Amino acid sequence: MYIFDFRLRPPYRSFTRLGIYAPVCNETAPQKHHGIPSRAAREKSMDLFWQEAEAAGIRKGVAIGRQVPDDMASVSNDDVHALATEYPDRIIPFGSLDVSRGISATMDELERCIELGFRGFAMEPAYCMPPRYADANALYPVYARCEKAKLPVVLTMSFFQGNLDYSDPTAVQHVANDFPGLQIVLAHGCYPWIPHVFNICLVCPNVWLLPDLYMLNPDAPGNAMYGEAMRWLDGERILFGSAYPCYNMEQAVRDVERFGFSEEHKEKFFHGNAEKLLGTDLVRG
């Protein structure tokens, strides 16, 4: 089966200085009781990374940058662009934005990345200074521009993003209603706001789930509900993402089997939904 990974952070340039590489996060809590080590992550080797991807059956994926107020915890858009340029048949670049840097500067960076060929953008509203909810007014110019450009926005939302209320998907519903043409992808799947987020997906056809390790890890409380959501949503708008290096890619693919998805739902999860969101030519090309 063709497998497309929507959440990759390869051992490349500024990705390797993130906290998820020091130490490798799938060897620490809460993954350490379940994680299979990644030699590529330990050695920060792109050659080994592609070997591990091939062993997992992963053919292509999205690399998402990270802009937060702490530059040492960020991944520059230039590095993401360089990665996609070096591996054009394997990586789809998503830029990242942080309105803490000022709205004007944020919009300038968004336009620059559009010119560079980025295929989407990511934000972490709760890590802004000051922290913001997903429906904060400061983010609306970004949403409006991405809606106009037909580029999806990834919002990373979970209990790790500040106080628990910052990951409440109710704010996402406000955005989805205000920008019905904007495709919104929820990385971390708003964990632990389950089943709230599933019902928002049901009524908002422009909201997509990227639950990554909170779905994959059988030790995550409530993880089985993401499997139930596949049936609730008939497999629509739920995306496979390993969250590498927080999850070994081969193990991520293998751990999906415990949900007992139908072949139709596996096709949607592993590549079909990504094709609907990004286009078949981009995902398969």
Closest CA to 61 of 256, 262, 244: 244
Domain-embedded: residue 21: no
Report the helix count and the strand count for the chain, using DSSP H and E.
13, 7
Q: Is the Cβ–Cβ distance between 135 and 143 less than 8 Å?
A: no
> What is the distance between the alpha carbons of residues 141 and 241, in angstroms, rounded to a whole number?
27
Q: Please tell me what DSSP assigns to residue 132.
A: -
Residues in the chain: 285
pLDDT means per 10 residues, the chain with 285 residues, are: 97 94 76 75 97 98 92 92 98 97 97 98 96 97 98 95 92 98 97 95 97 92 94 96 94 94 97 98 95
Q: How far apart are the first and last CA of the chain?
A: 16
Q: Give me the DSSP letters along 34-99.
A: TPPP-HHHHHT-HHHHHHHHHHHTEEEEEEE-B--S-GGG-B-HHHHHHHHHHSTTTEEEEEE--G
CA atoms within 13 A on the CB side of 28: 10
Domain-embedded: residue 202: yes
- Model pTM score: 0.96
Q: Is the Cβ–Cβ distance between 129 and 100 less than 8 Å?
A: yes
Determine the pLDDT at residue 37. 86
Q: Is the Cβ–Cβ distance between 239 and 64 less than 8 Å?
A: no
Domain-embedded: residue 31: no
Domain-embedded: residue 261: yes
State the CB neighbour count (10 A cutoff) for residue 23: 12
Instruction: Residue 271: give its domain's CATH number.
Output: 3.20.20.140
Which position has the token pair 């019902």? Answer: 199
Q: Please tell me what DSSP assigns to residue 195.
A: T
Determine the pLDDT at residue 34. 62
Structure tokens at 61: 């994926």
Q: Is the Cβ–Cβ distance between 194 and 225 less than 8 Å?
A: yes
> What is the distance between the alpha carbons of residues 191 and 171, in angstroms, rounded to a whole number?
14
> 47: alpha, beta or left, given left = phi > 0 and alpha = psi -120 to 50?
alpha
Domain-embedded: residue 32: no
> What is the distance between the alpha carbons of residues 25 and 168, in angstroms, rounded to a whole number?
25
Domain-embedded: residue 72: yes
Domain-embedded: residue 263: yes
Which position has the token pair 């949607």? Answer: 268
Grouping H, G, I as helix, E, B as strand and the rest as coil, residue 30 is: coil
Domain-embedded: residue 16: no
> 13: alpha, beta or left, given left = phi > 0 and alpha = psi -120 to 50?
left
Determine the pLDDT at residue 69. 87
Tally the domains of the chain. 1
Helix (H) or strand (E) run with residue 123 in it: strand 121-123
Instruction: State which residues form the domain around 219.
Output: 3-8+49-244+252-284
